[in-house]
Amino acid sequence: MRTHTRNSIQLKALFLWLCLSGVISTAEAQEPTLRIIETNGINMRIAEMGEGPLVILVHGWPESWYSWRHQLKALAEAGYHAVAPDMRGYGKTDKPADVEAYDIVHLTGDLAGIVDALGEEDAILVGHDWGAIVSWNAMLLHPEKFTALAAMSVPYNGRGAASPIDGMRRAFRDNFYYILYFQEWNMAEREFDADPRGILSSLYLSPDSPREEPEHTDPARGGVGWIPRRGAAVGLPDWLTQEDLDYFVSEFSEAGFRGGINYYRNFHRNWEITPQLTGMKVTQPVTFIAGEEDVVIGGQDAQQLTERLNRVVDDLRGVTLFPEIGHWVQQEAPEETNAAILEFLETLD
């Protein structure tokens, strides 16, 4: 690690300690405070700013509370208590050993437990990527706890007639697909733990970010992991500083990748243990936000996504797509994302 990188991380740690110890107030620092709470039987680190109605910001893979650094301040300034946890398996939050400890019942229970731990009756959810998946399910499994949802990048389809993993295996057969790769025990985490900067820098890019040619182009699964198939990044996108990337890398260097990968290992289990969700619709207010170039939405426009979501959501209050923006929407387009979230919040009673 370069000296200036190490120093910046040390300064950030000192700064956060000063906030936690009360030497610097949150208002003066304009930085979130970080602390550990107990929720659903685990210790969870949360970042928080502001006072008012509770808004929980739920990150995806491979991310952390830091993915919401731009939203925490904006929500706090708008009069909300913004809370961004390190989800189970990430950062300074506990990392249970059992794969089943990362199923959707545990993950949604963690969010419900945050509400209780903070002494609130309910909360609004904002979820991105896997955080959106968990949040969609939390709206259904804990409707008494969550009053509204801003979902990002991953729309809800309802509970399918068959296991999603079975469908992926039929679709990809012997070809490489990262979610199927993640089903192989200790393969992906061993690869990523050995090179956290390599995987993160190849993922945290915009759609037009330049890349080197991939080292491996054979589509067959073979014995090759994911990093050689992606093509290394040529520089950083303009929305990600070197300090930002260093922080993410330091977090995953310490925590490892297994916890987050275990979310994917529960796709089949989640389907098995939630038959009660068949045909259920989300009744609370919802908005959907994504980048137009996000591969997850598969090129669908706002009208197509609206029609799709109206099949599973009773109170859809809008679909917002940002041109030329990819998957990391709240980091790639923070001001636009903040405006869309706040506009949605203003529609709530």
Asked if 204 and 328 count as a contact pair (C-beta separation under 8 A), the reply is: yes
CA angle in degrees (0–180, nearest 5) for 336-264-203: 45
Whether 129 is catalytic: yes
Burial class of 84 by CB neighbour count within 10 A (0 to 12, 13 to 18, 19+): buried
Count CB neighbours of 175 within 10 A: 12
Whether 122 is catalytic: no
Closest by CA to 105, choosing from 137, 72, 69, 131, is: 137
Residue from 59, 106, 128, 327 carrying the catalytic annotation: 327
Instruction: Report the run of H or E that residue 338 belongs to, with start and end.
Output: helix 334-346
What is the rounded CA–CA span in Å between residue 320 and residue 125? 17
Residue from 110, 129, 246, 294 carrying the catalytic annotation: 129
What is the rounded CA–CA span in Å between residue 68 and residue 86? 11
Which structure tokens are listed for 134? 């968990």
| Region of residue 153 (phi > 0: left; psi between -120 and 50: alpha; otherwise: beta) | left
Residue 326 DSSP SS3: coil
Cross-strand bridge partners of residue 314: none
Following DSSP, what letter does each residue of 250-262 receive, concatenated?
Answer: HHHHHH-SHHHHH
Residue 154 DSSP SS3: coil
User: Sign of the C-alpha dihedral, residues 50, 54, 55, 58?
Assistant: positive
User: Sign of the C-alpha dihedral, residues 200, 204, 207, 210?
Assistant: negative
Instruction: Report the run of H or E that residue 181 belongs to, with start and end.
Output: helix 178-182
Q: Hey, which residues are catalytic here?
A: 129, 327
